[in-house]
Chain A
Amino acid sequence: MTDEAVLSVADLTVTIGTRRGAARAVAGVDWSVRAGQTLALVGESGSGKSMSVLAATGLAPRAARVTGDVRLLGTDLATLSAARRRRMRGRHVGFVFQDPMTSLNPVLTVGRQIGEASEAHLGLTRRAARARAIEMLELVGIPSAAERVDAYPHQLSGGMRQRAVIAMALVCEPDLLIADEPTTALDVTTQAQIVELVADLQRRLGTAVVWISHDLGVVAGLADTVAVMYGGRIVEQGAVDAVFAEPAHPYTAALLAARPDPDANVTELVTIPGTPPSPLELPEGCAFWPRCSVRGDSRCERELPPLVPVAAGHQVRTFYPRQPTGEDR
């Protein structure tokens, strides 16, 4: 699976020095994504899903210490100079962040912001970059692109801005697109349009996508593989159909059960009791144990379960995998 991976990380660990000690945001994570495929990283806030991607691509905060093996297009990023690593970003990896209100520079036109990466990486002149920006705006479905290219971010709606951000990320036709909760800040109808747009562009350009989300509904319709993260570790990963049809980890099962069902006439939402562990004081054993409905035995409290296969290409980190029953969604 890893041989033709666009981006693969192995044993990735991110430790962040804070005033109250070292916080282990990501603790030994492995995943990879192939060309044309979508990997979804799913988890609650603070589960380490965004941090693992930012760290892999060199965008982790300064206070973070990153270890592990990261390969982009077969190149070990650790062997590259900081400047070479920087040039990989934008050229081979494009990013779409959560909030299009804040991820665009308010004093530059969207056209300039879309074009500047092509100036830096493809050596386009400013005029050519502007033409390229218009093409990109058309590609992401912004009407009257030739006029919008000179608009400032505040002159566009939220959905338009996120389209512009996607245009920005794809301007150099990167091999990988990283989408960090790109629909969270948008209203529901716009969300659907953005998801559709990314899926469409992926089909046309053959880009690999890492989609970070806590929205299982989005993930189900979009991803090929999914990795569920909890407390800085992957607790379950596999093909999206397999994981969603037969979740083996109690956490994944609880997440799926917590999805509101639009058809059912529910008065109360199903929740997972408790809160995720602080990365400052991760438990010795299974991080989910305090909230777990199975709550096996003291072994779960003391010993970290390994990531073991339950089926072909489907792995889970628990001593008590749920038996396939066929009644889960």
Chain B
Amino acid sequence: MTRFILRRLLQSGIVLLGVTLVVFLLLQLVPGDPVRVALGTRFDPETYEALRSRAGLDQPLPVQYASYVGQALTGDLGVSFRSGRPVTEIVLERLPATLSLAITAVVFALLVAFPLGVLSALRSGSVFDHAARVFSQFGVSVPDFWMGIMGILLFAGVLGWFPPSGYVALTEDPVGWASHVFLPAVTVGLVTASILTRFIRSSVLEVLAEDYVRTAEAKGLPTRVVVVRHVLRNALIPVVTVVAVQLASLLGGVIVIEVLFAWPGVGRLTYDAVQARDYPVLQGAILLVAALFLLVNLLVDLLYARLDPRIRVR
């Protein structure tokens, strides 16, 4: 098991290195000169050159890349062009907002999708099944920003139950955090719930048709035992992957939703960094998202090995 973890960690490291290269090269292709943007109307050739050389932008590309990776290994992702603050600090302070939104959204999605998906598969063709399918079709097709706006109008505007936007840190004021996270989490979570409902439904249906479920029924086991021990144990293995992919993509920040709800997360940061051509911050944000993605995937692989004995032996 330790060897498995070490190997996966090494693989993740290589992928992360690849990500830095791609991000670095991509940003070279983006038109626009960050130093020029930073200087704006205060532009004069001497300051421009000075700033360029201080940021290392006058060096050849391979040198720039090598020094970027070298510094990144020590946790130094450079300084923001715009604010002059260290990128690592800027990126990390956005993390709690994004983490709390993503996790709340996924928990909400699971609470909705699990019973909906399982029951509609067990009663496929019933009225309940049709209703669940309409719900998930709705969730997948309606754009999340529109749902967000409608949510704000109804729950914040008409009913006044929740604040329309803003963020309070969980550590400072849990109740305030909960009331602020509710609308964005439900908005994002509904989309995720719809995707998961469909996936769980089809996964359970697939397992229900397996021979070993018939075997379990042939043993005369109580329905509850057949469903939990034989159907769900197998049907939920692939669901773990989908939940993880959803979680990982939410950890990358939901840009539209974060902008809509004035949620100071990584998505919002990425958006602002693009606007300002703040390359170091953009690089840092992308790197963080990639690292989170890899971390989630690593956890999924470990979880898989726990859930599926066929993987454990290898």
| A89 close to B211 (CB less than 8 A) | no
Given the known inter-chain contacts A102-B211, A152-B310, please indicate yes or no for A59 contacting B234, CB distance below 8 A.
Answer: no
Whether A120 is near chain B, meaning CB under 8 Å from some CB there, is yes
Q: Which of the candidate stretches A105-113, A134-142, A189-197, A237-245 sits at the interface with the other chain?
A: A105-113
| A103 close to B215 (CB less than 8 A) | yes
| B225 close to A102 (CB less than 8 A) | no
| A152 close to B217 (CB less than 8 A) | no
Identity of the chain B residue whose Cβ is nearest the Cβ of A89 in the assembled complex: B220
| B219 close to A59 (CB less than 8 A) | no
Within 8 A of A (CB), among B229-285: 229-230, 233-234, 237
| A97 close to B310 (CB less than 8 A) | no
For B307, give its contact among A107, A116, A121 (CB under 8 Å): A107
For A106, give its contact among B212, B222, B223 (CB under 8 Å): B212
| A117 close to B219 (CB less than 8 A) | yes
Given the known inter-chain contacts A107-B233, A108-B229, please indicate yes or no for A102 contacting B220, CB distance below 8 A.
Answer: no
For B219, give its contact among A107, A116, A155 (CB under 8 Å): A116
Whether A173 is near chain B, meaning CB under 8 Å from some CB there, is no
Whether B214 is near chain A, meaning CB under 8 Å from some CB there, is yes
Identity of the chain B residue whose Cβ is nearest the Cβ of A105 in the assembled complex: B212
| A89 close to B218 (CB less than 8 A) | yes
Whether A87 is near chain B, meaning CB under 8 Å from some CB there, is yes
For B218, give its contact among A90, A99, A155 (CB under 8 Å): A90
Identity of the chain A residue whose Cβ is nearest the Cβ of B213 in the assembled complex: A105
Whether B216 is near chain A, meaning CB under 8 Å from some CB there, is yes
| A97 close to B214 (CB less than 8 A) | yes
Whether A289 is near chain B, meaning CB under 8 Å from some CB there, is no
Whether A91 is near chain B, meaning CB under 8 Å from some CB there, is yes
Mark each residue of chain A from 76 to 92: 1 if its CB lies under 8 Å from any CB of chain B, else 0. 00000000001111110
| B309 close to A154 (CB less than 8 A) | yes
Task: Assign chain A's interface to a size class.
Answer: 20 to 34
Identity of the chain A residue whose Cβ is nearest the Cβ of B308 in the assembled complex: A107
- Roughly how many angstroms separate A168 CA and B216 CA in the complex, as a whole number? 10
| A105 close to B230 (CB less than 8 A) | yes
Whether A95 is near chain B, meaning CB under 8 Å from some CB there, is yes
Main secondary structure of the interface of B (DSSP, over half): helix
Whether A6 is near chain B, meaning CB under 8 Å from some CB there, is no
Within 8 A of B (CB), among A202-231: none
| B219 close to A90 (CB less than 8 A) | yes
Given the known inter-chain contacts A152-B310, A154-B309, A155-B313, please indicate yes or no for A103 contacting B220, CB distance below 8 A.
Answer: no
Mark each residue of chain A from 256 to 290: 1 if its CB lies under 8 Å from any CB of chain B, else 0. 00000000000000000000000000000000000
Within 8 A of A (CB), among B188-221: 210-212, 214-221
| B210 close to A120 (CB less than 8 A) | no
Whether A64 is near chain B, meaning CB under 8 Å from some CB there, is no
| Chain B residues, Cβ within 8 Å of A155 | 313
Task: Assign chain B's interface to a size class.
Answer: 20 to 34
| A120 close to B225 (CB less than 8 A) | yes
Identity of the chain B residue whose Cβ is nearest the Cβ of A151 in the assembled complex: B309
Whether A41 is near chain B, meaning CB under 8 Å from some CB there, is no
Q: Nearest Cβ in chain B — how far from A92, in angstroms? A: 9
Q: Nearest Cβ in chain B — how far from A87, in angstroms? A: 6
Whether A29 is near chain B, meaning CB under 8 Å from some CB there, is no
Within 8 A of A (CB), among B298-314: 307-310, 313
Q: Nearest Cβ in chain B — how far from A102, in angstroms? A: 4
| A154 close to B310 (CB less than 8 A) | yes
| A90 close to B220 (CB less than 8 A) | yes
Whether A104 is near chain B, meaning CB under 8 Å from some CB there, is yes
| Chain A residues, Cβ within 8 Å of B310 | 106-107, 152, 154
Q: Nearest Cβ in chain B — how far from A119, in angstroms? A: 9
Q: Nearest Cβ in chain B — how far from A96, in angstroms? A: 9
Given the known inter-chain contacts A106-B309, A154-B310, A155-B313, please indicate yes or no for A90 contacting B211, CB distance below 8 A.
Answer: no
- Roughly how many angstroms separate A97 CA and B212 CA in the complex, as a whole number? 10
Most A CB within 10 A of own CB, among B214, B218, B307, B310 = B218
For A108, give its contact among B210, B211, B219, B233 (CB under 8 Å): B233
| Chain A residues, Cβ within 8 Å of B210 | 102
| Chain B residues, Cβ within 8 Å of A168 | 215, 219
Given the known inter-chain contacts A90-B220, A105-B230, A107-B233, please indicate yes or no for A116 contacting B225, CB distance below 8 A.
Answer: yes
| Chain B residues, Cβ within 8 Å of A108 | 229-230, 233
Mark each residue of chain A from 55 to 80: 1 if its CB lies under 8 Å from any CB of chain B, else 0. 00101000000000000000000000
| A105 close to B307 (CB less than 8 A) | no
Most B CB within 10 A of own CB, among A57, A91, A93, A107 = A107
Within 8 A of B (CB), among A145-202: 152, 154-155, 165, 168-169
| Chain B residues, Cβ within 8 Å of A87 | 220
Given the known inter-chain contacts A107-B307, A152-B309, A155-B313, please indicate yes or no for A116 contacting B221, CB distance below 8 A.
Answer: yes
Q: Offer 7 A-B interface pairs, CB within 8 angstroms, sorted by A.
A: A86-B222, A87-B220, A89-B217, A95-B219, A97-B214, A116-B219, A116-B229
Q: Which 10 A-B pairs have the closest CB atoms?
A: A90-B220, A89-B220, A95-B218, A102-B211, A90-B219, A117-B219, A105-B212, A152-B309, A103-B211, A103-B215
Q: Which residues of B contact A (CB under 8 A)?
A: 210-212, 214-223, 225, 229-230, 233-234, 237, 307-310, 313
Give me 17 other A-B pairs in contact (C-beta within 8 A), A95-B215, A106-B310, A154-B313 excluded: A86-B217, A86-B223, A89-B220, A97-B215, A103-B214, A105-B215, A105-B234, A106-B212, A106-B308, A107-B234, A107-B308, A107-B310, A108-B233, A120-B221, A121-B220, A152-B309, A154-B310
